[in-house]
Structure formats: C-alpha cells, structure tokens
C-alpha cells in the first residue's frame, strides 16, 4: 500500500487554492528521502491573483494607525505560541530538523522577533519638523513601500518567513511570499495562522498571501508589475538574478545571500571553550546557515592542538532522527545539496587532510557526518566557496596581518568571529574584518534588536532591528508655506 500524500495549497486573498492549471510538485522529507506531500507549482495566473489580492488590501492596511497593526502582530505572536507544536511538526517534516531543537531554538526567537516588530510599528523615526527655509516648514513622512514580493530559503523556512513578513507588515506593507519548493509546509501553516488573526480582527486577509512554486514562480513574482519591493534570502546566483529582474522596473531589492564566515583563533584563546562553541556554530542545522562557523583560521602556535580537539569534537557530534534528543543536527535539505557537499569533499586537493567525517551517514535520507578538513590553502575551492553543509575547514596563519588578509580574502562578507583574550587586538580585528557582523569570543547568537546583513556578494539590506524595519519604508518630504 502507498500512503496518500498530504495536499498543500496556495493561500490567496484568504482562501487556500490549488494552482490554476492544477500542476503540483512532490515535497520530500529529507530525513527519509520519501515524499510526504504535494504543493502547487504556481504559474503566472496564480502570481497575478496573489499580487492583485495584496494590492487591493494595501490601502486599508497602509492607512491603519500603527497601534492597530501592532495588535495584529502581537496576536500573531500569541497564536504562534498557541500552535507551536503544529509549527514544530511542520518544520521538522519540512527540513528533517530535530524536534527538540526546533522547539527550543526556533519557536522562542520567532515569537520574540514578531513582538519586536510589533513594537517597531509604533516607533517610526525621522528628522524633526522645522524651518530650513524662511517662511516654510518641512516635515518628514515615513511610509510603507507597497506590495512586497518575498522569497524565503529552505534552510530556515519558518524563521526566514518571520524575518520577512514581520517588518513588512509592521511598516504597513502587504505581502506575497514564496517558500522554497522543497520546504513549503510550515509557510502554508503560517498563512493559516495569519489569515485567522486578520479575519478575527476585521482586516482583509489579502494582506498576507503565500504562493508555492519553483524558481520560475519566483521570477514571475519579482518581475510582476505590482510589487514595489523584492526581498530574497538565498544563493548569490539567485540574488543576482533577482537584482537583474527587479532592475527592469527599478523595484527596491533586499538581498540576504551567501556567507563564508571566518573564525579567527589566536594563540591566547581558551582552546576547549573555543572548540566547543565553534563546533556547535559550524554544525548546527547541518551547517546550512549563511553565518555558520565553517572557515577556521588558527594561529600556527596552537594549530595542531586545536585541530586535534576540533576533530575529537566532530567525532562526538551526533546527527540523526528528528525524535532523538541527543542529536545536534538533522539531514541536508535535499538530494542536490547532499550531492554538492559530497562534491566538495571529492574534489579536495592532495594537500588537504580529512581529520574527521567526510562521508554520508546511513542509507536513508540525506545525512552527512560532521567533518573537519585541515592543510588547506587560501585559494582552495572549499575555502573560497560556500559548502553549506557540516564541514569545517582549518588554515594556519602566522600573524594578525595574515589573518585579516585571509579572513577578508573571499567574495562573501556576512559574518565573522575573533577569539582572543587581548581586548585591543579584538578591537583592531573588529575594525579590519570586512563583514556585516563580527562576534568576539562567540559565534552565531542573534537578537531581534541588532541588524543582520552583509557586504560584497553576501548582499545588501538588513534583517531584524530598526534597520530591517526601515528597509520596508520610504521617505517623503512635505514642505508647507507659512504664508497660508
């Protein structure tokens, strides 16, 4: 007997709908490698319907006083808590993530982030009104940009959806969001939650819409005439394509792309503590995190000791089933990603040494062992390109100047960390490292109040914080004559 696949649907103007042409794609649980659902493969007619719904809902949502939008977001946060177990189950099946970690590491920050932006809705800031020309008063209006086309990734589909819709809705925009074609389940559930809140509080459910589909669906969203802004979290290639497509009608673009975070470890570091924290930051979520601690640069004086300790930590790190509370991470998200990670290992140069891991785990699903690779050079592929898997590379540096040069010597510039007891050195490094975030003696913590975003090919625009909120607003100058 074959198990019937669950049927996921688009959410457009408050209704769950199949794709207009009936096309679907199968959704696979990466922990088993087996399909568990179907989702719409949306085309132009579906995108048109969602954009029209968001456009129709925009004027009333825009014109609400901020306190009313805040009420909606606070109610959404409450509902996330009330339906947490549903969200956890959906995300675990979506991604193969350990249930316990979704419960402890994703639900609480998501709820907190929604509540943060609920507060931000009432904290619009601008220059003080005043007379900057004799006889005239100038004021600044901060307004929503309009309909936002948003594309979320597959590594944190639920949390990245929050990072996108929360500031957009708080600022008065309406939303059409597309989850990855491999991870639509939790976003469809979020649509049910938000739609029910909008309905209860008497607002148009067209404020929030979900379209399932593939890259072509995303392209149709970005190129559609209605959205004023396109936001994507994804690969560098996808970001470049979005920027090119959006340029045709000068849409605003918000890009959070890849990362290759350097982890610079100096000789005065507490090695056991650093190894413990770095291995968690490198392997959490199977290394499928743009800020993951995957590129370690360690001072030559402690290189051998550090590598041995890191390899031991990797051998003690566990990946496995979603219901095993002892595992740190689950599988890679899809078969293509498993193939990509394997490819990096297979193409390692002769001078590289696999200190731990380096192979697929089990014969079911897309699990990969926690891996440490040493003996690498700055221009090696695995140092320069984002692996997006549970692989930590190690290089040995001789002095601070070389550490900075190698740390900055990649095309990505999202996150980095410095490990030292020397405060002055930490300050010098934080100034010299060309990354959107520099952690000192830690790696990967995020808070709603602080911005997340990078430079160079890691994209532009900020998530979280007041800066992320500002990205979803536009500035208008209003000048009035005092002569009446």
For the annotated catalytic residues, the residue numbers are 256, 290
CA atoms within 13 A on the CB side of 155: 20
430 neighbors 439 (Cβ within 8 angstroms): no
Query: What are the start-end ranges of the H helices in 134-184?
Result: 157-170
- Cα(178)–Cα(184) distance, integer angstroms: 8
Phi, psi of 147 (to 5 degrees): -80, 135
Angle at 140 (CA atoms; ends 139, 146), nearest 5 degrees: 145
Helix 185-200 to helix 84-95 angle, to the nearest 10 degrees? 160
Expressed in percent and rounded to 5, the helix, strand and coil fractions of the chain are 40, 25, 35
- Cα(35)–Cα(29) distance, integer angstroms: 6
Q: 263 - beta bridge partners? A: 296, 417
Q: 216-233 burial by CB neighbour count: b if 16+ within 10 A, else e?
A: ebbbbbbbbebbbbbbbb
Tokens encoding 338? 């498993």
- Cα(288)–Cα(159) distance, integer angstroms: 14
Q: Which of 261, 227, 284, 263 is nearest to 101 (CA)?
A: 284
> Which own/partner pairs from 418-421 qualify as long-range (CB within 8 Å, at least 24 positions apart)?
418/264, 418/266, 419/263, 419/264, 419/265, 419/266, 419/269, 419/274, 419/278, 420/266, 420/268, 420/269, 421/268, 421/269, 421/270
Answer positive or negative: Cα dihedral of 466, 477, 56, 75: positive
């Amino acid at each position: 007997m074959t198990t019937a696949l669950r049927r996921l649907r688009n959410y457009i103007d408050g209704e769950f709908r199949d794709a207009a042409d009936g096309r679907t794609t199968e959704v696979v649980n990466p922990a088993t490698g087996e399909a568990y659902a179907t989702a719409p493969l949306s085309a132009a007619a579906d995108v048109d319907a969602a954009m029209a719904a968001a456009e129709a809902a925009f004027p009333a949502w825009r014109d609400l006083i901020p306190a009313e939008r805040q009420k909606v977001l606070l109610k959404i946060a409450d509902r996330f808590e009330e339906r947490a177990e549903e969200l956890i189950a959906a995300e675990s099946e979506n991604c193969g993530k350990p249930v316990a970690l979704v419960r402890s590491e994703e639900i609480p920050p998501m709820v907190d982030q929604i509540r943060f932006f609920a507060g931000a809705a009432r904290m619009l800031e601008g220059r003080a009104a005043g007379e900057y020309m004799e006889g005239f008063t100038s004021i600044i209006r901060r307004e929503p940009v309009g309909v936002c086309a948003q594309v979320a990734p597959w590594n944190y589909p639920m949390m990245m959806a929050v990072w996108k819709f929360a500031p957009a809705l708080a600022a008065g925009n309406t939303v059409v969001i597309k989850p990855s074609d491999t991870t639509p389940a939790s976003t469809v559930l979020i649509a049910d939650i938000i739609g029910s809140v909008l309905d209860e509080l008497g607002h148009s459910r067209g404020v929030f819409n979900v379209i399932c589909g593939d890259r072509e669906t995303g392209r149709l969203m970005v190129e559609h005439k209605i959205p004023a802004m396109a936001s994507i979290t994804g690969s560098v290639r996808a970001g470049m394509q979005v920027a090119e497509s959006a340029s045709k009608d000068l849409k605003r673009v918000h890009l959070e792309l890849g990362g290759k975070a350097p982890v610079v470890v100096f000789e005065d570091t507490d090695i056991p503590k650093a190894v413990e924290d770095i291995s968690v930051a490198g392997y959490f979520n199977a290394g499928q995190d743009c800020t993951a601690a995957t590129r370690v640069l360690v001072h030559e004086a402690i290189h051998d000791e550090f590598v041995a300790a890191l390899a031991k930590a990797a051998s003690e790190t566990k990946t496995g089933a979603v219901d095993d509370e002892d595992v740190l991470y689950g599988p890679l998200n899809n078969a293509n990603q498993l193939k990509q990670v394997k490819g990096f290992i297979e193409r390692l140069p002769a001078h590289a040494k696999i200190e731990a891991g380096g192979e697929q785990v089990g014969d079911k699903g897309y699990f990969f062992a926690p891996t440490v690779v040493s003996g690498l050079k700055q221009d090696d592929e695995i140092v320069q390109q984002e692996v997006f898997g549970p692989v930590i590379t190690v290089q040995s540096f001789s002095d601070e100047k070389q550490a900075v040069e190698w740390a900055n010597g990649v095309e990505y510039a999202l996150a980095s960390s410095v490990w030292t007891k020397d405060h002055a050195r930490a300050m010098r490094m934080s100034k010299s490292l060309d990354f959107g975030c520099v952690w000192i003696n830690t790696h990967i913590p995020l808070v709603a109040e602080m911005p997340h975003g990078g430079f160079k090919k890691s994209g532009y625009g900020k998530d979280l914080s007041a800066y992320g909120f500002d990205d979803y607003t536009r500035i208008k100058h209003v000048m009035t004559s005092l002569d009446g």
